[in-house]
Structure 1
Amino acid sequence: MKTWKKVTLGTVALGSAALLAACGGSSSSSSTSKNPQLELTTDITTLDSALATDTYSGEIIGNTQEGLTRVNNEGVAENALAKDIKVSDDGKVYTITLHDGLKWSDGTPLTAKDFVYSWQRAVNPATGSQYAYLYSDAGHIKNASEINSGKIKDLNQLGVVANSDTELTVTLTQPVPYFKFLLAAPVYAPVQKAAVEKYGKQYGTTSDKMVYSGPFVFKKNAGWTGTNANFSLVKNPNYYDKKNVKSSEIDFQVVKNPNTAVQLYKQGKLDEAPIASPELYSANKGFNGGKDYVPLKEATTAYIEYNQSGKGTSNPTAAKALQNVNIREAINLATNRNELVKQFYPGSAPATGLVPAGMATTQTGEDFSKYAAQPYTYDVSKAKELWQKGLKEIGAKSVNLTYTTDADKPVAKATADYLQTSLAKALPGLTITEKIVPFQQRLKDSQTQNFDMVMTLWGGDYAEPSTFLNLFTQNSGQNDGKVNNPAYEAAFNKASTLPDVMDDAARNADYKDAEQALFEQSSINPVYFRTTPSLRNPNLKGFNFHGTGLNYNLKGTYVK
């Protein structure tokens, strides 16, 4: 899952890239440490796998916790804590056998009952997991939706049962072709009941208020305190497959300024750094003879969400405006995606829909994003016409809309400035007020509908279009804008149920219909498909980027 969650706008900054290219760094990219030195561009928010919603937290959780499966470097969901997974002929029952002798990082036994507890906790509405939809809408586990919505109170009615310490049975309401990929998602990882009960609301807020099941744990006296920017992971001595964990220690630091990250890279203090602003890209792509340049092709789409709930916006006129399809379409038509990518996101591509390029293919081998592409065009003349029509329909002559984005990344502010100016110029009577907030605040504001327009990025959790196309269903915890699009809902539901769910051609046709419905109602405003140009130490091995799910599986990472 990319980046499996809502992520911050980009990983880059505008600034003194040319200066960095010319001074202050080693001429060699070799790290000065035998331990991999990695960076995060934003602070992590939690280590609780049920509550995490951002890429950065997911990156750490995905390497300190282990699920039943783990996606390998070939993109295959292979067995992890599961020794064997058998699927019934109708695709609805999974019988999963765990490895014998599994242990938590504190040495206590890890059993099938831990999975039952963890999954029940994730779908329990009292937990408040936004990723519970991976059990219900995406996973179709029996009674997951009913429990999460409060219709069923008994958590034991969830379709997962521990038959013994090493075997559990999972019952689905329908076949789910990508279910083994879901089993690798952090929200499906086990959590230790004793730790959750011991720490209560403090569980996951620091690294010492956790127990781990994955390849790494936090280093003693170098853990995460909830606020610190430097921490280290070390090999988990109780991990079932510790012999295949290649590094004894991996060091992290949060580096919010990309210029600083490039400087640290050139000093040998980081083994990878993004160079995705035009200035950084131009000045540093050829560093070390170009040997260090790596483009990270992410299965990530940046899109603007419109608050269509009718509440929580800055003023009643804004609320009414964003419920009007002509006004939303006018803003979409006035968005110059080509220019945005050219100015701010080198290597990325203008979005042609919600599902990004390079993530999934159809039954014929065609890239799904090409197959389902919609005509998101830049047409100021038509935009003005629809804008005036929309204003007349809502009885207004002008509209002030607040645009929310992240304070953590300078490029987000630059993008906001561009949209503020260009949209107001294209649509007379429109005023865009910028709301630049910290990343974590932006997530909170999105979840509580405290926005008019918000720039969001979503990274695929698995390599199938539904990881994007389920975002705006009525029951989705990610439907922050409260999209209500019956045609989209019908198309997605058709793709998710028999017979289409087991027919690749029919399912892809339904997904295309869902993309078309989002386009026709201007339910969202897709802006770009993200690729992040980076510098990477050639001696950093086993550090393979995944476009969906966990970006980096650090189990096989080491410095040669």
Structure 2
Amino acid sequence: MKKKVLFSFMLLFSLMIILTGCYGKDEANETEGEKASDPNSSTTEQVLNLSASGDLTTMSSLGSLDALAVTAMNSVYEGLYRIGPENEAVPGIAESHEISKDGKTYTFKLRKDAVWSNDAPVTAHDFIYAWSKAINPETQAVYSYLMLDIKNAVKIQDKNDTLYGKIDQLGIKAVDDYTLEIELERPIPYFLSLTTYAPFFPQNEEFTEAQGDQYALETDKMIYNGPFILESWKQGQGWKFKKNEKYWDKDTVKLTTINQKIVKDTATAMNLYEANEIDTATLSSEFVDQYKDSPEFSTFLKPNTYFLRINHENKYLSNQNIRKAIDMGWDKEAMANVIMKNGSIAAYFLVPEGLSSGPDGKDFRDGNGDMNKTDISKAQEYWAKGLKELGTDKVTLEILSYDTAQAKSAVEYIKNQLEKNLEGIKLTINMQPNKQKLALEAKVDFDLDYGGWGPDYQDPMTYIELFETGAPYNQSNYSNSSVDKLIKEARVTVDSKKRWEILQQAEKLMLDDVAFAPTYQVGISRLTKPYVKNLYEHPFSADMSYKWAYIEK
């Protein structure tokens, strides 16, 4: 009996210890969990792991920009304003701004606590230095055309004007170190959104000049005024951002590290995602069905248009009937729904759906609708007519493309469709890494070029002006005096309704002339780990912002 009582007591005592230990452990874990869910907690590892389809082409805000470079620059640099969580322009280096009654003068008040990563203050002079360099004919930036609405900018770049090269006549001035005044030639409804874009970022003159032609080529040849710094950049492998502890709004920034790994193949990216080595993965068509029911899956339509650029100096492609046949001679719906299968839609237009609304509140697409819809029979008629005009029965062309798996599927589909539907056409494919492809595009060293465009600012003009004669990103030798006239007219038209109508006329004229062959409007299907919070996607300027992102586990 004593043994039984003693045993029972010992058993009860043991259970109490076990239960106490269990409850104590659960309480500790709950506390750890609470700490881990708090992005400010020291126990939360604030590291975001991402993949990229290609390398950075440049880190100079006045360089030749692509989407990857702009997103990277948006992370380490900051302009007067930056694109915010709701895709609006929110204060950056500027605390506030005022607009004159006539809409032509902007006065920005700069914050006095903003510094570069080398402790130099960010001042109005940094903006004047960078913008002047962009406009100056001797140092002209590729994207300087976005600044041509600043007073005297066009004249300063015009060799036949008395103001040619007189950069001191540009309509920007420092009222004092922290007040920047900008005069425009005319009111620009989207000007504030322009200031969020990389070409409008400041540069510190003393540091930049000291680096000479090595500026922004390596991490030690850059200084930063944005949420992060570029800690490492290994060509062909990837790059790493670290939190900028000298950023004026550092308390908002929760991430300490962002690792960006170059992964060109979707299957490899999916393996990395499943292994928890990357936190987001963009899906190509073959993976959509597999993951579409996952709670980590999302899809959305971006205001980005993909198209075939056409080299208008090619002896075959200079023929309008040949161009029409190539544009209308393949199934774009199947391209979007079967090949892409990621939320993309067939494009029969240049300006994408959802970019911006007109003065009547309607989307730009409501005006022109779809143009040059797929019609194989009609395309074959155009093709036969074009061949007859050229005096040939065979046409051989090369398509330039990215070297990614999804691009390969897309261009192979286009090739097969056109070779099936247009008798006598022979297409070859030239797949190139992003950097090399951009170089070939700049030289218009292609026949057809599979590529696309994302908006620099929230207005149809960001697309329409692409195909103006001599425009930096025309990249197709396209020239149409009627289109040019409409673009110039839209630039000086103050009446918003009339301006909208002019832009729609310009788009329609370009489609009638087949300045390019649209393919699809970009849809994105993506997996994102549930612990990644506030990773914001944008329809213009940078594709994505990391400033507000954090990890919650």
Output the TM-score relative to the length of structure 2.
0.88
1:326 aligned partner, one-letter code: N
1:43-95 CA-to-partner distances (Å, cap 9, x unmatched) read 11111111041111111111100000111111211221112211111111111
Provide closer, same or farther for how the CA distance between residues 372 and 470 of structure 1 changes in structure 2, counting only shifts above 3 A.
same
Provide closer, same or farther for how the CA distance between residues 546 and 224 of structure 1 changes in structure 2, counting only shifts above 3 A.
same
SS at match of 1:321: coil
> What is the distance in 2 between the residues matched to 1:103 and 1:323?
52
Structure 2 residue 115 is the aligned partner of structure 1 residue 103: yes
> What is the distance in 2 between the residues matched to 1:360 and 1:255?
33
Structure 2 residue 137 is the aligned partner of structure 1 residue 155: no
Are the equivalent residues in 2 in contact too, given 1:67–1:185 (CA < 8 A)? yes
1:124 aligned partner, one-letter code: N
Q: How many Å apart are 1:533 and its aligned residue?
A: 0.4
Structure 2 residue 516 is the aligned partner of structure 1 residue 524: yes
Matched with 2:246 is 238
1:9-408 alignment to 2 at 5 Å?
34-127=46-139, 129-136=141-148, 140-148=149-157, 150=159, 152-219=164-231, 223-225=232-234, 227=235, 229-277=237-285, 279-286=286-293, 290-308=294-312, 310=313, 319-346=314-341, 347-407=343-403
Q: How many Å apart are 1:464 and its aligned residue?
A: 1.6
SS at match of 2:511: helix
2:526 maps to which of 534, 539, 546: 534
Are the equivalent residues in 2 in contact too, given 1:94–1:171 (CA < 8 A)? yes
Matched with 1:545 is 537
Structure 1 range deviating more: 295-304 or 361-370: 361-370
Matched with 1:430 is 425
SS at match of 1:36: strand
> What is the distance in 1 between the residues matched to 2:412 and 2:199?
36
> What is the distance in 1 between the residues matched to 2:115 and 2:331?
53
Structure 2 residue 473 is the aligned partner of structure 1 residue 466: no
SS at match of 1:283: helix
Give the aligned CA root-mean-square deviation in angstroms.
1.9
Q: How many Å apart are 1:297 and its aligned residue?
A: 2.6
Are the equivalent residues in 2 in contact too, given 1:47–1:207 (CA < 8 A)? no
Q: How many Å apart are 1:326 and its aligned residue?
A: 1.4
SS at match of 1:224: strand
> What is the distance in 1 between the residues matched to 2:179 and 2:127?
10
> Could you say which structure has the greater relative contact order, defined with CA pairs below 8 angstroms and 6 or more residues apart?
1
Are the equivalent residues in 1 in contact too, given 2:55–2:238 (CA < 8 A)? no
Are the equivalent residues in 1 in contact too, given 2:266–2:405 (CA < 8 A)? no
Q: How many Å apart are 1:377 and its aligned residue?
A: 1.3
1:231-265 CA-to-partner distances (Å, cap 9, x unmatched) read 32122122121121122222222222111111111
1:271-292 CA-to-partner distances (Å, cap 9, x unmatched) read 1101132x21111223xxx210
SS at match of 1:403: strand
Structure 1 range deviating more: 354-363 or 59-68: 354-363
> What is the distance in 2 between the residues matched to 1:428 and 1:149?
47
Provide closer, same or farther for how the CA distance between residues 46 and 150 of structure 1 changes in structure 2, counting only shifts above 3 A.
farther
Are the equivalent residues in 2 in contact too, given 1:71–1:77 (CA < 8 A)? yes
> What is the distance in 2 between the residues matched to 1:237 and 1:33?
17
1:260 aligned partner, one-letter code: T
Q: How many Å apart are 1:541 and its aligned residue?
A: 0.9
* Larger Rg computed on CA atoms: 2
Question: How many pairs align?
Answer: 506
In structure 1, the gaps of 5 or more residues are: 1-29, 311-318
Matched with 2:494 is 499
Structure 1 range deviating more: 359-368 or 116-125: 359-368
1:351-387 CA-to-partner distances (Å, cap 9, x unmatched) read 1211112221233333222332232211122112212
Are the equivalent residues in 1 in contact too, given 2:57–2:69 (CA < 8 A)? yes
Provide closer, same or farther for how the CA distance between residues 331 and 272 of structure 1 changes in structure 2, counting only shifts above 3 A.
same
Are the equivalent residues in 1 in contact too, given 2:46–2:255 (CA < 8 A)? no
1:454-498 CA-to-partner distances (Å, cap 9, x unmatched) read 011111122221111111112421100122123322333232213
> What is the distance in 2 between the residues matched to 1:126 and 1:63?
29
1:379 aligned partner, one-letter code: D
> What is the distance in 2 between the residues matched to 1:146 and 1:263?
54
1:417 maps to which of 412, 415, 421: 412
Are the equivalent residues in 2 in contact too, given 1:352–1:376 (CA < 8 A)? yes
Are the equivalent residues in 2 in contact too, given 1:46–1:206 (CA < 8 A)? no
Are the equivalent residues in 2 in contact too, given 1:296–1:545 (CA < 8 A)? no
Provide closer, same or farther for how the CA distance between residues 149 and 200 of structure 1 changes in structure 2, counting only shifts above 3 A.
farther
Matched with 2:551 is 559
1:83 aligned partner, one-letter code: E
1:384-416 CA-to-partner distances (Å, cap 9, x unmatched) read 221222223233332211111111x11222222
